[in-house]
Amino acid sequence: MLRVLTALTLSTLVAIPQVTRANNETAPLSLSQAIQIARRENPNARIALQQIESAEALLRQSRAAHLPRFDLAVSYRWTDQPAVAFASILNTESFSPTLNFNDVPSVDNLNLSGQMQLSLYAGGADQAKRRAAAFGVQASKAQRQAVELGLTFEVIRAYIQVARSWHLLQAAESAVASYRNNAKVADARHRGGTLLKTDLLDVGVRLARAEHDLIRATHGLKLARQALGLLLGGRAVSPGAIRELPQLSPPRSKTIDARPELHASDARVKQLERVKRAQQAGYLPQVQLVGQVDFDHGFRRESSGFSYLVGLVGRWNIFSGLATREQVRQAAIGISQAAEQKRKQQLVLQYQLARAQSAFEQAKPRLTLAQRAITQAEQSAALTRARFAQGLAISSQLIDSETALTAARVQLVEAQADQTLAIAMLYHSTGSDPLAALKHSEEAK
């Protein structure tokens, strides 16, 4: 009895990993899950996030110009140079009336110094740089959103391609099964003397072509899964993970106003305008508040002293060799280029929206026609098979009906995939995020 229980336990433990492995291989992968994985794991998404972090770091750097700067310095000197030695004697408060100015003794000085600088006025450059950095953050965030939406569209397209390839594989398998059955019927009729040898060979040739198409469909599905896996950051997509085409409802937006690319372009233009303002500050004076505290100690004279300094420092660049003027001019050219780039982008995005709307308008009637065609093709193929088995149809009629059925199945899959892809194009071209709609549709199932 103990041996039986031990054997059952061991067999159960061995079977558990196999069941788990099988479940992992066939675990379904929804489109919303694929999009979320891509947004986390795809290198482009991570790069976009790092660009935001870099822009925020620049913003924090620009804010430092409005805060005081403190520095600490320490030095130790030993000298008999009259000017330096006399200054050290004064700083350490060890001056004596008996000091011989013509023969100043060697002195040492340990100096601890604390310095402070605060920009009071920089011609508006500090404020302009801070605003430019803030617009840079806005542009980076908008660009990240554009990357996410673009990545989402690519994931949807790759996901549709996997589902399409799976359905095409099913159609190819059905065609092979039909032709194998027809080959058996044709062989039986040939043996019975009711079918010519040429007709039997025609059916065999068509079976070989169907098997060739099955091989291509199998490898097409494999490549489609690999392409989707690359978008998911290198994650493997199991063969049975995706079988159904996703369902999407069209977005509400009909314009390109929500496209993040346009928001990023607006922020870039405003950023360059602030950069130009910062360059123009070179024509204006600058004022700084400075302060300094020193502690000096002489070990040879055993004396110490404290001192401080507070004051204002003003600077005004009267002539810079025309460098400031050219910097302002360069900034103005950059603004013009950014504005033209934005206008070009608007034209491209408008064309993308027009293409998406045209594709969506074509998809619905094509799907209706494909659904009608598959019904007719299935009925025609069933009747032709029956007539062929009874000797009332020739092999060419059978081949034509089977070819028409396979083509109708492929056409239906293509029409369904194209309709979903057209809706995805509408989401992308209007700047709408389909993730919430996908989750709602998947939960409704």
- Where residue 391 sits, what CATH number does that domain have? 1.20.1600.10
Residues 6+ positions from 356 with CB-CB distance below 8 Å: 422, 425, 426, 428, 429
Residue 166: which of 210, 212, 223, 209 has the closest Cα?
Answer: 223
Residue 266 lies in a domain: yes
The yes-or-no verdict on residue 360 having pLDDT over 80 is yes
Let me know the angle formed at the C-alpha of 426 by 421 and 429, rounded to the nearest 5 degrees: 120
Residue 6 lies in a domain: no
Residue 437 lies in a domain: yes
The pLDDT confidence band at residue 357, using thresholds 50, 70 and 90, is very high
Q: How far apart are CA 120 and CA 358, in angstroms?
A: 59
Mean pLDDT of 209-221: 91
pTM (two decimals): 0.80
Q: Which amino acid is at 175?
A: A
CA dihedral 325, 329, 335, 340 (to 10 degrees): 170
Instruction: Say what the pLDDT of residue 10 is.
Output: 38
Residue 90 lies in a domain: no
Taking a C-beta distance cutoff of 8 angstroms, is the pair 259, 146 a contact? yes
Q: Which amino acid is at 68?
A: P
Residue 237: which of 25, 434, 12, 7 has the closest Cα?
Answer: 25
Residue 212 lies in a domain: yes
Residue 246: which of 357, 374, 158 has the closest Cα?
Answer: 158
Window from 17-26, 43-52, 130-139 with minimum mean pLDDT: 17-26
Residue 302 lies in a domain: no
Instruction: Say what the pLDDT of residue 342 is.
Output: 93
Residue 371 lies in a domain: yes
Domain that holds residue 428: 28-70+122-284+323-444
Tens digit of each residue's pLDDT (9 = 90 or more) over 386-423:
888 887 877 788 788 888 888 888 888 889 999 999 99
Residues 6+ positions from 146 with CB-CB distance below 8 Å: 259, 260, 261, 264
Looking at the 3D structure of the chain, how many domains does it have? 1
Instruction: Say what the pLDDT of residue 97 is.
Output: 75
Alpha-helical runs (H) found in 27-124: 31-41, 43-63, 82-91
Tens digit of each residue's pLDDT (9 = 90 or more) over 272-296:
999 999 999 889 999 999 999 999 9
Residue 274 lies in a domain: yes
Alpha-helical runs (H) found in 64-124: 82-91
Percent of the chain with pLDDT over 70: 92
Three-class secondary structure of residue 288 per DSSP: strand
Looking at every residue in the chain, the average pLDDT score rounds to 86
Token readout for 348 is 């491209």
Tens digit of each residue's pLDDT (9 = 90 or more) over 295-346:
998 888 788 888 889 999 999 888 888 888 999 999 999 999 999 999 999 9
The yes-or-no verdict on residue 107 having pLDDT over 90 is no
Taking a C-beta distance cutoff of 8 angstroms, is the pair 402, 378 a contact? no
